[in-house]
């Protein structure tokens, strides 16, 4: 898809991979809606890149609908959705205080999986109703899973299950939306240098990076954003999950 001038909506756009993607797409000439539950972060990033900041809880049906309708009023129908909103809350199945609270498991599934589906379904409806572009293409949806979908570590049952769900819905979504010319792809990042990792001591950051076969460092958010750009441009990419991890395979702990 020719990117310049298209309307894009990036969830989790206030921080990390989403913020980098929002900036990258704005730099390519997109009209970008920066969507985040953290209103201040969404607005600050929107201000930096000349986009529209929207406070939204992706896991809430009405909040998602309101975000799409605000973005549509400002930019027209969305053509690119990038789902980056997510939480990485860890917790063992049986911890010091007994079994993992069911609420804790449910919260991660709600935000990472149901939140991604909520925004995907709304984008799919809006894209399907929009005018066809070149080769009858109407839009591209890109989700963010994690390599934890394949190699979840101890303490990641909820996170890995939520990301496994995102991997699993990619192909059926691409198959269903093919008739409308809407592509669905998922990126499964390895370890990236985002605010989540910034909070760790420098030696821990260095050792995390050193465990990556090549290049032996954490991924840069710009490398994630560059893959988003390629997926949007390359019409033959559809219904697939791409690992972006420097050949890292996570160990049990
Ligand atoms: N950083 C990594 O190494 C890494 C690795 C694999 C996968 N991922 C995935 O990439 C995505 C982005 O991660 P990141 O490292 O940039 O994290 P981050 O914490 O920097 O950014 C996530 C953003 O999502 C927002 N968010 C959280 N819950 C939300 C909700 N209910 N509604 C709307 N926004 C919400 C947060 O406010 C935050 O701004 C996540 O889905 C994460 O699981 C990250």
Distance 98 CA to ligand 1 centre (A): 28
Q: For atom 2 of ligand 1, which residue has the closest CA?
A: 192
What does the pLDDT read at residue 61?
98
Best CA proximity match to 218, nearest among 64, 48, 17:
17
Q: pLDDT tier at 212 (50, 70, 90 boundaries)?
A: very high
CA of 174 to the centre of ligand 1 (A): 23
Q: Check residue 202 and give its pLDDT.
A: 79
- Percentage of the chain with pLDDT > 90? 93
Other C-beta atoms lying within 10 Å of the C-beta of residue 21: 31
Per-residue pLDDT at 199: 72
Q: Helix, strand or coil for residue 92?
A: coil
Looking at ligand 1, which residue's alpha carbon is closest to its atom 41?
A: 86
Residue 138: both structure tokens together: 């109407």
Q: Which helix (H) or strand (E) holds 55?
A: strand 52-55
pLDDT tens across 222-234, in order?
999 999 999 999 9
Assign 77 a pLDDT band (cuts: 50, 70, 90): very high
What does the domain layout of the chain look like in residue ranges? 7-192+221-239
Three-state secondary structure call for residue 40: helix
28-53 pLDDT tens trace: 999 999 999 999 999 999 999 999 99
Q: What is the pLDDT of residue 164?
A: 98
Is residue 117's pLDDT more than 80? yes
Give me the active site residues, please.
159
Copy the structure tokens of residue 220. Answer: 């840069």
Ligand 1 pocket residues where CB is under 6 Å: 11-12, 14-18, 36-38, 41, 56-59, 84-88, 111, 115, 144, 146, 189, 191-192, 194-196
Q: Collapsing DSSP states into helix, strand and coil, what is residue 171?
A: helix
134 vs 189: CA distance, rounded Å: 30
Give the Cβ contact number of residue 1 at 10 Å: 19
What's the count of helices (H) and strands (E) in the chain, helices before strands?
Answer: 10, 9
Return the best residue to mutate from 35, 84, 211 for the ligand 1 pocket (most ligand atoms within 8 A of CB): 84
- What percentage of residues in the chain have a pLDDT greater than 70? 100
> CA 110 to CA 117: how far, in whole Å?
10
On whether the 7-192+221-239 domain is CATH 3.40.50.720, my answer is yes
pLDDT band of residue 203 (cuts 50, 70, 90) is confident
Mean pLDDT value across residues 102-124:
98
């Amino acid at each position: 898809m020719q990117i310049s001038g298209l309307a894009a909506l990036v969830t989790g756009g206030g921080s990390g991979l989403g913020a980098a993607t929002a900036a990258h797409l704005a730099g390519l000439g997109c009209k970008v809606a920066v969507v985040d539950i953290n209103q201040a972060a969404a607005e600050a990033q929107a201000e930096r890149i000349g986009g529209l900041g929207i406070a939204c809880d992706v896991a809430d049906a009405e909040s998602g609908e309101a975000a799409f309708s605000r973005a549509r009023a400002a930019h027209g129908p969305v053509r690119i959705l990038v789902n980056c909103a997510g939480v990485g809350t860890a917790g063992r199945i049986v911890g010091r205080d007994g079994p993992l609270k069911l609420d804790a498991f449910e919260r991660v599934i709600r935000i990472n999986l149901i939140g991604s589906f909520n925004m995907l379904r709304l984008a799919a409806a809006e894209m399907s109703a929009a005018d066809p572009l070149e080769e009858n293409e109407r839009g591209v949806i890109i989700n963010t899973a994690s390599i934890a979908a394949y190699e979840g570590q101890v303490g990641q049952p909820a996170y890995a299950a939520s990301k496994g769900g995102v991997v699993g819905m990619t192909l059926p979504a691409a198959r269903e939306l093919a008739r409308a010319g809407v592509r669905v792809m998922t990126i499964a990042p390895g370890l990236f240098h985002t605010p989540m990792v910034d909070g760790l001591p420098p030696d821990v950051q260095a050792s995390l990076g050193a465990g990556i076969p090549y290049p032996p460092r954490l991924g840069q958010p710009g490398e994630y954003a560059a893959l988003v750009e390629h997926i949007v441009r390359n019409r033959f990419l559809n219904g697939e999950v791409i690992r972006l991890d420097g050949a890292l395979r996570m160990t049990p702990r």
